A and B are shown apart, each in its own frame.
Chain A
């Protein structure tokens, strides 16, 4: 790929207090890609995402998004630039209604007709949300909440979407539906997606490339197909 990457991490180190969660992580994401970051519990996958979107300030290293350096920027400036995250555990607003949750996704936007259009698009993508429009977010099932969290993120019209464990705690059928939507977002809407997953098999099958994190280090990066075929990966993450 000769194009400039939309997202690039250069030797990013982040820590919680004195414990370094990721060390010198470097990765590149090109426009239009789906990139997975896979790894075991505590490998630093979520930390990587939190360091990208500014909730966690990296100790050292640089984060570049769309040709600009964004590490050290406050998290709330990024959604308006087209970088949005669906956080781990969904974190919808339980006592706001489904519709209000979606409105929160478009918080920084002022174009009412555009917001309305995007809301309809989200409802079209997740018809169940339309049905539950007036219901509180907290009363939805896990799968519906995941859909709501994704819909909420889409309301900000992202160009780069960071998804943290979208399959966490969901039934296999729902997981398939979620991944179908992820592919649709990528292919139809042209959103670049970074996918963090424990379900390595499913994640790699939906991605073009993948990074493998182990105890805070990138230990491998390759095409998704190559990673799927790699015997070490199969042994460690695919349970073979």
Chain B
């Protein structure tokens, strides 16, 4: 597919004019009057850079880089052939090995980032059950994260219950919250469902914010205990608190692995297939004897369980929770991970979490432009890889199925 040169440069000209129209008001309109120099300087740089890129593209299309393209293509083919021959379990073992060894080679700051990535991986995989498998667009998913976090926070502070006991309790509470929120909302389809879940997500946050007697409102809950274990030491079992970041890292890694295995099993189970059938055609699923409301509730509750587990860990790690952590932007982030990574795909969601949590940390220097880059990357992704970084296998095409 070659675009003709004149068309290419016309597109370039239109894009540059459009870019200036966007850029100038941002930099050029000031209280003292209108200004053109600053915006023009930036625009000129971008225009030159883009022109170089377009020229490169033209040269590439003309075959000027044949000497590079040939070998690199061959290398790519060889690489994919090698990756196909490596058994899946070996690849998984390598990834897991890297994850286990990670704390030995890195510093405190990296541990911190890795822990947030893993928390978001669990959240992403949980939301993936709801959005990717069952096809229910949920814009208030972070509410279950909040329910889990507050469940553990309150049980720990007021009753001194252990983290390990609270994990299943928080999971159950989140599932219950999922059912309570889901029962009235899941009768709706598509856009309506999205709006209503958005509303319920906010309701949960506002309740946490205003229920002073229980949640201490916007001041949050302080003094949450970390996880504890009985560790064999000096010939006897001693009680110890795990507050060290490394220890916390291994706990969340364990939770993440559990989540991956659970979601994988679900994906290929009879129920997972039914989730997909409901996503594809609800009426047809009903005609096949699927109770669609009950199934959607189940998807919602299962997704909520993982949100609750992640929330429990979050509270134990931060030692403090407040409603601020559960705003809509967090829901949007988790949804963005799922969409960016590839709906319904487990490695996709993991990649998406890495991309959205770890990369911004790496590029801390550009913090001011973070949201700007974020938006740009999302737009580009949706144009060039609309199915995500690592699309789910099920969504493959005919030719892919054959080989």
Contacts and interface: CB of A to CB of B under 8 A. Distances in A.
A93 B280 contact: yes
B281 A107 contact: no
Given A95-B395, A96-B280, A107-B270, A134 B401 contact: yes
Contacts of B286: 55, 74-76
Contacts of A100: 273, 276
Say whether chain B's binding surface is mostly helix, strand, loop, or mixed.
helix
B161 interface: no
A107 B275 CA distance: 12
A58 interface: no
Contact of A85 (B281, B287, B397, B398): B287
B291 A76 contact: yes
A84 B287 contact: yes
B276 A136 contact: no
Contacts of A93: 276-277, 280-281, 284-285
Contacts of B280: 93-96
Contacts of B397: 136, 139
A215 interface: no
Size category of the A interface is: 20 to 34
Contacts of B277: 93, 96, 104, 107
Contact of B291 (A74, A85, A91, A136): A74
A85 B288 CA distance: 8
Given A94-B280, A95-B394, A105 B401 contact: no
A140 B87 CA distance: 31
Contacts of A105: 288
22 contacts: A76-B289, A76-B291, A78-B289, A79-B287, A79-B288, A87-B284, A87-B287, A92-B281, A93-B276, A94-B280, A95-B280, A96-B273, A97-B401, A100-B276, A103-B270, A104-B290, A107-B270, A107-B277, A108-B289, A134-B401, A136-B396, A152-B288
Interface of B: 270, 273-274, 276-277, 280-281, 283-292, 394-398, 401
4 A-B pairs with the lowest CB-CB distances in the bound complex, closest first: A79-B289, A91-B284, A93-B280, A108-B289
